[in-house]
Amino acid sequence: MASSEDNIGAALRDYSLDQLAQADLQLARAGAWQDSGVHQARKAIARLRAGLELLHKSPLAARALEARLRLFAHGLSPLRDMQAALATAKSLRAEKESGDDWRDFAHALKQRRDRVLGAALAVDPGFAARRAQLAEVRAALATIAWTRLLPSDLRHALKRAHKRVQRALEPARASSAREPRHRLRRRGRRLLLQIELLRSFAHATARPRAAEAAHAALHDVLGESLKRKQRKHLIDKLGREQDLRVLRRALPARATNARLRRLVAALRRELDNAQAVTNKRLT
């Protein structure tokens, strides 16, 4: 490989373009009524945003682009939340006291999700307009002078991400409220995505200089232990809490009959249990 391409910036550029292509592919699937497409597209955008955040301490940082991607992801949130609520309701069908109620409610949620997706596609057939926005993002990525990214900028950006997670830990330990826990999940997930991204660079043989820069950043900022499994487990537990809250929002605000009261009570128990499990990992 030409030396001009053997650097951390070029590796990050190729990764970013690949995640953008993945998002476009998944939106094309969603536009053909594939219900998981929106969720997978948002995950690809999350990986892209995590990669771009590694430019944060560099003069190359594209903050307007980050804001655009944030709005893009948020625009897909209602569709993603409907899918998350449905998946969570299905997971609760084994509840002894309310299993039949959850089964019926999951069926109603599926119909609601299909209506929401249908309404979105009626406004934007095949998600063509959203995919056009991704094409604009691709053009914006092409304007970044990726090969000028310095390894020192990479280390500083990773250190910033790590400190943001550390600052979010204490509020999440002190409260079971949604916002501090969700903030920790968002920041922790982004750092984990960055760790996994840099590990993949560090193990790639095609770009030895990029591999060296990625390895050095991970070692200098996080030391010998990346705690990848521990980080992922915590993020998964916080994610379970969030999905339960999303499901609660899908229920009527007031439990007006015995069936709804059973569902709300079962959901409260499940959230309490989930928070207790998370708290053990936060100590």
Q: What is the pLDDT of residues 171-225, one digit of tens each?
A: 999 999 999 999 999 999 999 999 999 999 999 999 999 999 999 999 999 987 7
Contacts of 107 (CB under 8 A, 6+ apart): none
Instruction: Say how far apart CA 271 and CA 117 lie, in whole Å.
Output: 28
For the chain, which residues make up each domain, given as ranges? 3-282
Which of 14-23, 94-103, 137-146, 189-198 is least confident?
94-103
Whether residue 255 contacts residue 261, with contact meaning beta carbons closer than 8 Å, is answered with yes
Integer Cα distance of 35 and 113 in angstroms: 9
pLDDT value for 8: 96
Mean pLDDT of the chain: 93
pLDDT at 81: 94
* pLDDT number for residue 1: 59
Contact assessment for residue 51 and residue 194, using Cβ atoms and an 8 Å cutoff:
yes
Residues with Cβ within 8 Å of residue 229, at least 6 apart in sequence = none
Q: What is the pLDDT of residue 210?
A: 97
Question: Which pLDDT does position 215 carry in this prediction?
Answer: 96
Average pLDDT over residues 82-95: 91
More confidently predicted of 98 and 14: 14
Is the Cβ–Cβ distance between 207 and 5 less than 8 Å?
yes
Work out the end-to-end distance of the chain between its first and last CA atoms, rounded to an integer number of angstroms: 47
- 223-241 burial, b at 16+ Cβ within 10 Å, e below that, comes to eeebeeeebeebbebbbbb
Least Cα distance to 233 among 196, 192, 270 occurs for 192
| Pair 160, 22: CB distance under 8 Å | no
Q: What is the pLDDT of residues 121-158, one digit of tens each?
A: 999 999 999 999 999 999 999 999 999 999 999 999 99
Angle (CA) 197-173-156 rounded to 5° is 35
User: For the residues 260-270, what does the mean pLDDT come to?
Assistant: 93
CATH superfamily placement of domain 3-282 = CHAD domain (1.40.20.10)
Does residue 97 register a pLDDT over 90?
Answer: no
Confidence band of 2 (pLDDT split at 50, 70, 90) = low
Distance of alpha carbon 93 from alpha carbon 102, whole angstroms: 5
Res 147: pLDDT? 94
Pairwise pLDDT comparison (81 vs 95), residue with the higher score = 81
125, 131, 134 from 128: Cα distances, Å: 6, 5, 10
